[in-house]
């Protein structure tokens, strides 16, 4: 096992690998999410730090080991974390989706109410049904679904299986249908 000083020296000597990999493989990502630049670099540095911890000189150069570690951490960040936390295609009921001529914001809830098949009372029925429901963790499940999580991801967060999440959502739909009639 290397001492802390040796690992720090390895890290400092090979710190250039992170910007190299980011510039080579993640230019498009940075164009789309420029505000995540620092986060991306931090993830790369974490990968480099992990590589310095497990580096063995008998197995080759540090760059040979560090490259997959850094790339792995960067890919994990871009595919998992960003997908969950920076999705712009997910809307909540309160999100302003349109501004009319008088610059008044129209929310998703208002748009739903303006549809022919759905009126504002139905939206309120759905919300009150979610609040009053005795289905286990249903408020958390609905909240996470609005944030873009899949049923499988929600099951991991809540420590259950995907089938249980599916069943709870189906129970909620049945409750909503009963109250809506």
**Do residues 48 and 79 make contact, with C-beta atoms less than 8 angstroms apart?**
no
Quick one: pLDDT band at residue 44, thresholds 50, 70, 90?
A: very high
- Which comes out higher in pLDDT, residue 115 or 20? 20
> Measured at the alpha carbon of residue 48, what is the angle toward residues 44 and 50, in degrees to the nearest 5?
115
**Model pTM score:** 0.47
Query: Could you confirm whether domain 4-85 is CATH 2.60.40?
Result: no
**Do residues 7 and 53 make contact, with C-beta atoms less than 8 angstroms apart?**
yes
Quick one: pLDDT band at residue 42, thresholds 50, 70, 90?
A: very high
The ranges assigned to domains in the chain are 4-85, 96-180
For 136-164, write each residue's pLDDT tens digit.
888 888 888 877 788 888 888 888 888 88
Report pLDDT for 128: 72
For 72-113, write each residue's pLDDT tens digit.
999 988 887 666 665 554 445 555 555 556 666 655 555 444
How many other C-beta atoms lie within 10 A of the C-beta of residue 25?
14
> Measured at the alpha carbon of residue 122, what is the angle toward residues 117 and 123, in degrees to the nearest 5?
110
The answer to which of 17-31, 107-121, 140-154 has the lowest mean pLDDT is 107-121
Q: Which residues contact 67 (CB under 8 A, 6 or more apart)?
A: 17, 21
Report pLDDT for 169: 84
How far is it, in rounded angstroms, from Cα 54 to Cα 173? 50
Report pLDDT for 16: 92
């Amino acid at each position: 096992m290397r001492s802390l000083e040796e690992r720090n020296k390895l890290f400092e000597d090979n710190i250039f690998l992170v910007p190299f990999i980011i510039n080579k493989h993640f230019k498009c990502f940075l164009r789309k999410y420029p505000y995540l630049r620092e986060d991306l670099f931090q993830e790369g540095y974490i990968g480099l730090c992990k590589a310095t911890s497990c580096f063995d000189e008998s197995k080759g150069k540090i760059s040979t080991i560090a490259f997959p570690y850094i790339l792995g951490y960067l890919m994990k960040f871009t595919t998992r974390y960003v997908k969950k936390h920076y999705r712009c295609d997910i809307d909540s009921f309160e999100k302003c989706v349109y501004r009319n001529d008088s610059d008044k914001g129209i929310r998703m809830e208002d748009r739903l109410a303006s549809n022919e098949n759905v009126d504002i009372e139905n939206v309120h029925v759905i919300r009150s049904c979610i609040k009053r429901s005795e289905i286990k963790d249903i408020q958390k499940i609905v909240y996470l679904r609005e944030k873009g999580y899949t049923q499988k991801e929600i099951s991991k967060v809540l420590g259950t299986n995907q089938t249980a999440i599916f069943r709870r959502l189906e129970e909620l739909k049945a409750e909503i249908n009963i109250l809506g009639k």
